[in-house]
Amino acid sequence: MANSRSGDKLLDRVVRILESFTATEPRLSIAEIADRAGLPAASAYRLVDDLASQGLLLREDGGVRLGIRLWELANRASAARDLRQIALPYLEDLNQLLRQHTQLSVLHQDEVLILERLSRPGAAANQAHVAGRLPVHRTSMGMVLLAYAPAHVLSGYLARHEEAVVERHGDIRRVLAEIRRTGHATFDGFLDDTTTGAAAPLLDRSGHAVAAMGVVVPRGSDALPAVVMALMTAARGASRDLQAMGDPRISH
Protein backbone atom coordinates (compact mmCIF):
# COMPACT_ATOMS: atom_id res chain seq x y z
CA MET A 1 0.00 0.00 0.00
CA ALA A 2 2.92 2.32 0.72
CA ASN A 3 3.89 1.72 -2.86
CA SER A 4 0.45 2.50 -4.22
CA ARG A 5 0.28 5.62 -2.11
CA SER A 6 3.61 7.02 -3.29
CA GLY A 7 2.71 5.99 -6.84
CA ASP A 8 -0.50 7.92 -6.61
CA LYS A 9 1.32 10.98 -5.36
CA LEU A 10 3.91 10.79 -8.08
CA LEU A 11 1.26 10.50 -10.77
CA ASP A 12 -0.47 13.48 -9.29
CA ARG A 13 2.75 15.50 -9.53
CA VAL A 14 3.31 14.32 -13.09
CA VAL A 15 -0.19 15.41 -14.12
CA ARG A 16 0.32 18.80 -12.43
CA ILE A 17 3.54 19.26 -14.40
CA LEU A 18 1.83 18.36 -17.69
CA GLU A 19 -1.03 20.70 -16.80
CA SER A 20 1.29 23.66 -16.39
CA PHE A 21 1.81 23.86 -20.16
CA THR A 22 -0.93 25.67 -22.09
CA ALA A 23 -1.65 26.71 -25.66
CA THR A 24 -0.46 30.25 -24.96
CA GLU A 25 2.55 29.17 -22.87
CA PRO A 26 3.85 25.95 -24.40
CA ARG A 27 7.45 26.57 -23.29
CA LEU A 28 8.31 26.99 -19.62
CA SER A 29 11.41 27.23 -17.45
CA ILE A 30 11.82 24.71 -14.63
CA ALA A 31 11.16 27.50 -12.12
CA GLU A 32 7.84 28.26 -13.86
CA ILE A 33 6.93 24.57 -13.88
CA ALA A 34 7.75 24.25 -10.17
CA ASP A 35 5.64 27.31 -9.45
CA ARG A 36 2.61 26.19 -11.45
CA ALA A 37 2.73 22.59 -10.30
CA GLY A 38 3.24 23.64 -6.67
CA LEU A 39 6.47 21.64 -6.33
CA PRO A 40 9.82 22.41 -4.67
CA ALA A 41 12.38 23.36 -7.33
CA ALA A 42 14.47 20.26 -6.67
CA SER A 43 11.59 17.82 -7.20
CA ALA A 44 10.44 19.73 -10.28
CA TYR A 45 13.94 19.52 -11.67
CA ARG A 46 14.19 15.78 -10.99
CA LEU A 47 10.74 14.99 -12.36
CA VAL A 48 11.28 17.06 -15.51
CA ASP A 49 14.47 15.06 -15.99
CA ASP A 50 12.62 11.75 -15.57
CA LEU A 51 9.82 12.85 -17.91
CA ALA A 52 12.31 14.07 -20.51
CA SER A 53 14.18 10.77 -20.43
CA GLN A 54 10.87 9.06 -21.28
CA GLY A 55 10.25 11.55 -24.12
CA LEU A 56 7.16 12.93 -22.39
CA LEU A 57 8.87 16.30 -22.05
CA LEU A 58 11.45 17.90 -24.30
CA ARG A 59 14.29 20.09 -23.01
CA GLU A 60 15.20 22.85 -25.43
CA ASP A 61 17.43 25.91 -25.29
CA GLY A 62 14.52 28.17 -24.41
CA GLY A 63 13.06 25.90 -21.72
CA VAL A 64 10.90 22.79 -21.50
CA ARG A 65 8.09 21.69 -23.86
CA LEU A 66 5.74 18.73 -24.05
CA GLY A 67 7.47 15.88 -25.86
CA ILE A 68 6.41 14.40 -29.15
CA ARG A 69 6.27 10.96 -27.52
CA LEU A 70 3.48 12.18 -25.24
CA TRP A 71 1.56 13.41 -28.28
CA GLU A 72 2.07 10.07 -30.00
CA LEU A 73 0.95 7.95 -27.03
CA ALA A 74 -2.09 10.13 -26.42
CA ASN A 75 -3.21 10.23 -30.03
CA ARG A 76 -2.70 6.83 -31.52
CA ALA A 77 -5.44 5.02 -29.66
CA SER A 78 -7.68 7.72 -28.20
CA ALA A 79 -11.43 7.96 -28.56
CA ALA A 80 -10.89 11.63 -29.45
CA ARG A 81 -8.96 10.51 -32.51
CA ASP A 82 -11.74 8.16 -33.65
CA LEU A 83 -14.39 10.85 -33.32
CA ARG A 84 -12.24 13.38 -35.09
CA GLN A 85 -11.48 10.98 -37.92
CA ILE A 86 -15.18 10.38 -38.49
CA ALA A 87 -16.15 14.03 -38.29
CA LEU A 88 -13.24 15.54 -40.22
CA PRO A 89 -14.57 15.09 -43.80
CA TYR A 90 -17.86 16.72 -42.74
CA LEU A 91 -16.05 19.57 -40.99
CA GLU A 92 -14.03 20.11 -44.15
CA ASP A 93 -17.20 20.21 -46.25
CA LEU A 94 -18.67 22.88 -43.97
CA ASN A 95 -15.43 24.83 -43.86
CA GLN A 96 -15.26 24.86 -47.68
CA LEU A 97 -18.94 25.60 -48.30
CA LEU A 98 -19.55 28.15 -45.54
CA ARG A 99 -16.10 29.76 -45.44
CA GLN A 100 -16.32 30.05 -41.67
CA HIS A 101 -14.55 28.38 -38.73
CA THR A 102 -15.98 24.94 -38.02
CA GLN A 103 -15.36 22.90 -34.91
CA LEU A 104 -15.99 19.63 -33.15
CA SER A 105 -16.37 19.30 -29.40
CA VAL A 106 -17.42 16.99 -26.57
CA LEU A 107 -18.81 17.51 -23.10
CA HIS A 108 -16.06 16.67 -20.61
CA GLN A 109 -16.00 17.41 -16.88
CA ASP A 110 -18.73 20.05 -17.18
CA GLU A 111 -16.97 21.93 -19.96
CA VAL A 112 -16.90 21.94 -23.75
CA LEU A 113 -13.62 20.40 -24.90
CA ILE A 114 -12.64 21.30 -28.48
CA LEU A 115 -11.42 18.24 -30.41
CA GLU A 116 -10.95 19.90 -33.77
CA ARG A 117 -11.14 23.30 -35.32
CA LEU A 118 -10.76 24.19 -38.98
CA SER A 119 -10.11 27.86 -39.42
CA ARG A 120 -10.68 30.13 -42.31
CA PRO A 121 -8.70 33.29 -43.03
CA GLY A 122 -11.05 36.29 -42.79
CA ALA A 123 -13.82 34.36 -41.02
CA ALA A 124 -15.65 35.58 -37.92
CA ALA A 125 -13.82 35.83 -34.57
CA ASN A 126 -13.66 32.54 -32.67
CA GLN A 127 -12.52 31.76 -29.15
CA ALA A 128 -12.01 28.03 -29.68
CA HIS A 129 -8.62 26.28 -29.81
CA VAL A 130 -7.91 22.60 -30.31
CA ALA A 131 -7.74 20.94 -26.87
CA GLY A 132 -9.08 24.15 -25.35
CA ARG A 133 -12.17 24.39 -23.14
CA LEU A 134 -15.23 26.64 -23.23
CA PRO A 135 -18.09 27.07 -20.74
CA VAL A 136 -21.08 24.84 -21.52
CA HIS A 137 -23.90 27.30 -20.91
CA ARG A 138 -22.19 30.08 -22.86
CA THR A 139 -21.65 28.25 -26.16
CA SER A 140 -24.11 26.88 -28.69
CA MET A 141 -22.11 23.63 -28.81
CA GLY A 142 -22.40 23.31 -25.05
CA MET A 143 -26.14 23.88 -25.13
CA VAL A 144 -26.56 21.23 -27.82
CA LEU A 145 -24.44 18.77 -25.84
CA LEU A 146 -26.60 19.45 -22.79
CA ALA A 147 -29.89 19.19 -24.69
CA TYR A 148 -28.96 15.74 -25.97
CA ALA A 149 -27.11 14.49 -22.88
CA PRO A 150 -28.32 11.38 -20.99
CA ALA A 151 -30.71 12.41 -18.19
CA HIS A 152 -28.20 11.79 -15.36
CA VAL A 153 -25.53 13.89 -17.09
CA LEU A 154 -27.95 16.77 -17.59
CA SER A 155 -29.30 16.69 -14.05
CA GLY A 156 -25.77 16.44 -12.61
CA TYR A 157 -24.64 19.44 -14.65
CA LEU A 158 -27.68 21.52 -13.71
CA ALA A 159 -27.27 20.67 -10.03
CA ARG A 160 -23.65 21.82 -10.08
CA HIS A 161 -24.17 24.97 -12.17
CA GLU A 162 -27.76 25.96 -11.54
CA GLU A 163 -27.18 29.59 -10.67
CA ALA A 164 -25.06 30.47 -13.72
CA VAL A 165 -27.32 28.53 -16.06
CA VAL A 166 -30.54 30.09 -14.79
CA GLU A 167 -29.03 33.57 -14.84
CA ARG A 168 -28.17 33.13 -18.50
CA HIS A 169 -31.11 31.09 -19.75
CA GLY A 170 -34.01 31.41 -17.33
CA ASP A 171 -36.16 28.33 -17.82
CA ILE A 172 -33.33 26.08 -18.97
CA ARG A 173 -35.49 22.99 -19.50
CA ARG A 174 -37.67 24.95 -21.93
CA VAL A 175 -34.59 26.22 -23.78
CA LEU A 176 -33.19 22.68 -24.06
CA ALA A 177 -36.56 21.29 -25.21
CA GLU A 178 -36.61 23.89 -27.97
CA ILE A 179 -33.10 22.85 -29.06
CA ARG A 180 -34.25 19.21 -29.22
CA ARG A 181 -37.38 20.24 -31.18
CA THR A 182 -35.40 22.15 -33.84
CA GLY A 183 -32.34 19.88 -33.80
CA HIS A 184 -29.87 22.73 -33.38
CA ALA A 185 -28.88 25.70 -31.22
CA THR A 186 -27.97 29.25 -32.22
CA PHE A 187 -26.95 31.93 -29.74
CA ASP A 188 -25.80 35.51 -30.30
CA GLY A 189 -22.73 37.04 -28.72
CA PHE A 190 -22.15 34.57 -25.89
CA LEU A 191 -18.38 34.71 -25.95
CA ASP A 192 -17.96 37.51 -28.48
CA ASP A 193 -20.39 40.36 -29.11
CA THR A 194 -19.78 40.32 -32.86
CA THR A 195 -20.60 36.68 -33.58
CA THR A 196 -23.37 34.10 -33.56
CA GLY A 197 -22.64 30.46 -32.82
CA ALA A 198 -24.64 27.62 -34.33
CA ALA A 199 -24.33 23.97 -33.33
CA ALA A 200 -25.87 20.55 -34.06
CA PRO A 201 -25.35 17.21 -32.30
CA LEU A 202 -23.61 14.02 -33.41
CA LEU A 203 -25.93 11.38 -32.03
CA ASP A 204 -25.29 7.80 -31.01
CA ARG A 205 -27.77 4.96 -31.54
CA SER A 206 -29.68 5.83 -28.40
CA GLY A 207 -30.15 9.44 -29.52
CA HIS A 208 -27.63 10.98 -27.11
CA ALA A 209 -24.99 13.47 -28.19
CA VAL A 210 -21.50 12.03 -28.49
CA ALA A 211 -20.19 15.34 -29.80
CA ALA A 212 -21.33 18.63 -31.29
CA MET A 213 -20.35 20.41 -34.50
CA GLY A 214 -20.36 24.17 -34.50
CA VAL A 215 -19.93 27.08 -36.88
CA VAL A 216 -19.30 30.72 -35.93
CA VAL A 217 -20.73 33.44 -38.21
CA PRO A 218 -20.79 37.24 -37.96
CA ARG A 219 -23.72 38.38 -35.81
CA GLY A 220 -26.80 39.32 -37.82
CA SER A 221 -25.66 37.35 -40.88
CA ASP A 222 -28.42 36.74 -43.46
CA ALA A 223 -26.75 33.42 -44.16
CA LEU A 224 -27.61 31.96 -40.73
CA PRO A 225 -30.57 29.80 -41.91
CA ALA A 226 -28.44 28.32 -44.69
CA VAL A 227 -25.52 27.80 -42.28
CA VAL A 228 -27.80 25.96 -39.84
CA MET A 229 -29.15 23.74 -42.59
CA ALA A 230 -25.64 22.84 -43.80
CA LEU A 231 -24.56 22.17 -40.22
CA MET A 232 -27.50 19.89 -39.47
CA THR A 233 -26.93 18.02 -42.73
CA ALA A 234 -23.24 17.49 -41.96
CA ALA A 235 -24.01 16.46 -38.36
CA ARG A 236 -26.48 13.86 -39.60
CA GLY A 237 -23.94 12.42 -42.00
CA ALA A 238 -21.32 12.21 -39.26
CA SER A 239 -23.86 10.66 -36.84
CA ARG A 240 -24.60 7.92 -39.35
CA ASP A 241 -20.89 7.14 -39.77
CA LEU A 242 -20.45 7.20 -36.00
CA GLN A 243 -23.27 4.75 -35.44
CA ALA A 244 -21.93 2.47 -38.16
CA MET A 245 -18.56 2.45 -36.35
CA GLY A 246 -20.18 1.29 -33.12
CA ASP A 247 -20.32 4.55 -31.18
CA PRO A 248 -16.87 5.64 -30.07
CA ARG A 249 -17.66 7.30 -26.76
CA ILE A 250 -16.02 9.90 -24.60
CA SER A 251 -16.83 9.79 -20.91
CA HIS A 252 -18.77 12.70 -19.50
> 118-121: long-range contacts at Cβ-Cβ below 8 A with a sequence spacing of 24 or more?
118/91, 118/92, 120/95
Q: Which is nearer to a copy of itself, 64 or 227 (CB)?
A: 64
Residue whose C-alpha is closest to residue 87's, from 244, 249, 235: 235
> How far does CA 34 lie from the centroid of its chain?
27
Contact call for residue 131 and a copy of itself (CB under 8 A):
yes
Q: Which of 32, 99, 130, 221 binds a copy of itself (CB under 8 A)?
A: 130
Q: How many CB atoms lie within 10 A of CB 245?
A: 12
Q: How far is the CB of 86 from a copy of itself (least distance, A)?
A: 11
Q: Which residues contact 201 (CB under 8 A, 6 or more apart)?
A: 144, 145, 147, 148, 183, 209, 211, 212, 235, 239
Size of the site for a copy of itself (CB under 8 A): 63
Residue 171: Cβ-neighbour burial (10 angstroms; 0-12, 13-18, 19+) = exposed
206 is an interface residue for a copy of itself by CB under 8 A: no
DSSP per residue, 137-181: GGSHHHHHHHHTS-HHHHHHHHHHHHHHHHHHHSSHHHHHHHHHH
- The minimum distance between CB 146 and a copy of itself, in angstroms, equals 18
How distant is the alpha carbon of residue 223 from its chain centre?
26
Residue 106 beta carbon to a copy of itself: minimum distance, rounded to whole angstroms:
7
Q: How far is the CB of 24 from a copy of itself (least distance, A)?
A: 9
Asked if 153 touches a copy of itself (CB under 8 A), the answer is no
Min CB(196)–a copy of itself separation in Å = 24
Is 244 near a copy of itself (CB under 8 A)? no
Provide CB contacts within 8 A for 12, sequence distance 6+.
none
If one asks whether residue 118 binds a copy of itself (CB under 8 A), the answer comes out as yes
65 binds a copy of itself (CB under 8 A): yes
Complex with a copy of itself: residue 15 or 177, whichever CB lies closer:
15
Task: Kindly tell me which residue out of 29, 31, 38, 71 binds a copy of itself, with binding defined by CB under 8 A.
Answer: 71
Q: Given the rule CB under 8 A, which residues bind a copy of itself?
A: 4, 6-8, 10-12, 14-15, 18-19, 21-23, 25-26, 46-47, 50-51, 53-56, 58, 60, 65-82, 85, 88-89, 92, 95-96, 106, 108-109, 113, 118-119, 129-132, 249-251
